[in-house]
Chains A and B, each alone.
Chain A
């Protein structure tokens, strides 16, 4: 009896859901498809996040290509420098 009532209730819910699905016009996604889509979305996101975007950006290297070195033989001025910073 109880089983009967439960099956009935379940059928009702399924019917309601079906009706609702019909109202929105979308079809029910299969369980397998859901996992397929979810898996590819995760894979896509991982790929996207790990895409080297700098590949598309202007080629500003992280490390400077021009090395600044003071000339060791130049003599720094120690007198007569204006005090303007």
Chain B
């Protein structure tokens, strides 16, 4: 479409339609012509149904900067009649009071120098410590940055062989847990369980040790309940505990675990754990309800490996990702081909693929196996595709790709799928020869397998019958995490001694006799071994803030049997002693050992020599030995004799998934994580039941309607969210919300979907769904900070905000993106040549810039979390996010294209573009935002008077205004508590109310490099500066540096053929370059005129 032809879109503006009616499918006259129009363009980008269907309210909101009601004038008639004289009298009186009051202004303390400065601290210079994150079982290596002894930032440890310098959002935000003012600060006891009285540690030990001894001597069980044990020293400690207290038993439980995958692997191959996969070697990946880029497995590692083959410039061929799923996941929405299929039909799909590949196309010898052919004979991929309305063309591509890439493709089945599906997938991988991608010499270490259902049932039964004398919750919360039909919460009331070791009060602590506060990971010693080829160390970077102890120290004291045994250094000595005989056993003699120990603490990791043992032993690793799965052979009978089968249900299927930000709910009290938008729906501060557009139509539901979900585990009332791309008949709910006992931030946020869990079903089960009639408002940021252009719908496409092509197109013609622009007429080109009113400043020295590769960006939000921590971004709360007031300096725009039933998605990080001709600078009346000679668009906070003209004039909508002192306003001023003030990065100003703020390109890091360059008498090196978002990006999608450095990576990307600039035609000259997204599909993208 030529420039200036707006009539079509103006007409759309004039249409008034009811979107709820459209979603329901109730087409009244006039609506038909709109629906086909929105679906006929490919791609027609949209972010929400309200945008897709031209909801007049949304169009009106887009035209207005502020939400309805925000700028309402107060009613002047309601003002009191106040005389001038009285006003002046009160004014002078209040001035006098204020003046007197100021004489004793609240003292915020003094900055005083150290009398005895610690040797390791240099004022203003940060220190770094290697450690290990314990946010989940992955145990990623981290580097903790401290300033004046305060940990303020966590990043990945580049030496760690798995995480390689990257961590997830939970790891980034974990620093907030250290300073959480609602942490337990003293041990307390409650003889009546739930009552609370502070006691001393000496009293704790005096009271507990005799009771433990008594329980052991009377033959009563002492149950210790933990999460995954991945620490060799902790394992040794627990073993010693069971030696001293012989009736002690260890139970471990994880809400999200690999049990179906591992048990299927054991049946197929004999060894107990699923091997590690070389994701970077896979040319074709088929993800079956497997969100390996989002919430499954070690996503930090898998997304890095996956994205290595999504780089247009490193010489690697692009991989091709197929996704078959019922839920709309990050992985699925990043896939080149995505097929929407009800989750319980996936096993049938795998069987059809097996029959097609092994039976019909004879890709392996298994086709001639009578048992195999009998089992597969009834499955036909063509009929399956027709039955479930799948694209036969895409299935054909998939089959050809799998056939062509035997040995270099990988089929990944999700953790929610049952064992029978995993067995079928193992067989398919075996038939395709994909076992070549499994790593043979490195494997996962399992110190203690997770407790089985029968073990947990026996525990509860013993509790009920009085056979359990004591329960120790070793930083675990089974009252919240275990399915309610175990009856754990009731059973634990019958145990005479219940001890909970926890950082903060939780559901189980309220049922305990003793609640003992433990150190966070920043205050703890520890060692970890998640793989057999290395160990990692955890060290405390700060002495405990409160009267807390490390959980291992508590057990160690009880093992010694006397309170006097405790000392602050006991677990460090314990780990060191253990390492003398294990990880560092080669360093004999104290001097040699200590040297190796300090080196290990410096690096955070130590390599270990894997010990290869024969698979026949099939033993799990102990604390001193590790197993390596050698070449196992597949047992076809595991497939042919497997009688269990996943049968598609006629009812709805419930998928219970891990929260992308809260995990299993342990981090519910972390405001940064609660406010982190979910990658797909962009919803914050809540969970919901995601349903498809078709299901919404069928059940007459729309987003925010409350429904009742009924499973064999329980009943839950929860709002629905109509999520494009979810399969018909699938209901997906995130776990980790609805905590009834935690701090003020996380308490009663969202809905506790754990109530739907049953011990007899996994994370996928049948569900009945019923509309209840009520509503509950879910807040999504997906429409916030839209590029407002009231005349244009489809602006993202027409203004080329997202630029896409296909990999094939790019290979044929690397310049294809620029060639598209040849369709401009001369007149259009002339229009684009309109100059700026500004004079171009020539940046002769350093000119900072950023490049973001949309091929690598998965929309995971890690960059947002890192930016929040680095730049002291406040948590504003749900009510303020509702009013478009979230303060994130970087946001991920998620654009859908296609239809609501079958959408495609594009993710685009959007931050201040530091435009050369920044329109915000021209309109600031007080010159609070100005340009630096090195190309940074800066903000002088104490100059800003809060006119918000800059925000209004910013085409990218990346400026954020402090409508309040959000720290004071949110949840009883919790962010202003003393401990939280210690969390702030001193290198970044904490902004006041009434001040505008935005991305600074991490100016404080740039200034540090400048300082170093001056000290070392050299030029600034652009690549030395890494922004917080860049450091956090798991896929290395973000590059930063000096644009004038012709040898830099950034310069190369800026001048690549895929480079483009968002809203380039506005002539603001942005300094953030985007690299166009390439989809590795067979079809060339149908691109309309882009302008």
Contact = CB atoms under 8 A, between A and B. Distances in A.
A45 B96 CA distance: 10
A76 B604 CA distance: 11
Nearest to A57: B106
A35 to B, nearest CB: 22
A64 B982 CA distance: 10
Interface in A10-50: 45, 48-49
B938 interface: no
Contacts of A45: 100
B314 to A, nearest CB: 21
A70 B539 CA distance: 11
Contact of A66 (B539, B545, B572, B1002): B545
Contacts of B129: 74-77
B100 A49 contact: yes
Interface string B75-107: 000000000000000000000010011011011
Contacts of A53: 101, 104, 106
B128 interface: yes
B264 to A, nearest CB: 40
B104 A54 contact: yes
B419 to A, nearest CB: 42
A34 B158 CA distance: 80
B104 A84 contact: no
Contacts of B106: 53-54, 57-58, 60
Contact of B601 (A57, A58, A74): A74
Contacts of B1009: 83-85
Interface string B596-627: 00100111100000000000000000000000
A68 interface: yes
B1070 to A, nearest CB: 23
Contact of B100 (A48, A58, A63): A48
Contacts of B455: none
Interface string A61-82: 1111110111101111111111
B267 to A, nearest CB: 43
B916 to A, nearest CB: 25
A45 B93 CA distance: 12
Contact of A71 (B128, B543, B598): B543
Interface stretch (B119-127, B269-277, B435-443): B119-127
Contacts of A78: 602
A82 B158 CA distance: 9
B770 interface: no
A70 B523 CA distance: 10
B157 to A, nearest CB: 8
B130 interface: yes
B940 interface: no
A52 to B, nearest CB: 7
A71 B541 contact: yes
Nearest to A82: B1026
A74 B1025 contact: no
Contacts of A49: 100, 103
Interface stretch (B145-153, B169-177, B317-325, B582-590): B145-153
A73 B539 contact: yes
Contacts of A64: 109, 978
Contacts of A76: 120, 127-129, 602
Given A54-B104, A54-B106, A66 B979 contact: yes
Interface string B313-354: 000000000000000000000000000000000000000000
Contacts of B158: 80, 82
Given A70-B543, A80-B603, A85 B126 contact: yes
A24 B896 CA distance: 78
Nearest to A55: B104
Contacts of A61: 978
Nearest to B1030: A84
A74 B602 CA distance: 9
B121 A83 contact: no
A84 B985 CA distance: 14
B540 A68 contact: no
Given A75-B539, A76-B129, A84-B1026, 9 more contacts: A57-B106, A68-B148, A70-B120, A74-B540, A75-B601, A77-B143, A77-B602, A81-B128, A81-B143
Interface of A: 45, 48-49, 51-54, 57-58, 60-66, 68-71, 73-85
13 contacts: A52-B104, A66-B982, A71-B542, A73-B539, A73-B540, A74-B541, A77-B128, A77-B604, A78-B602, A82-B143, A82-B1026, A84-B1031, A85-B1005
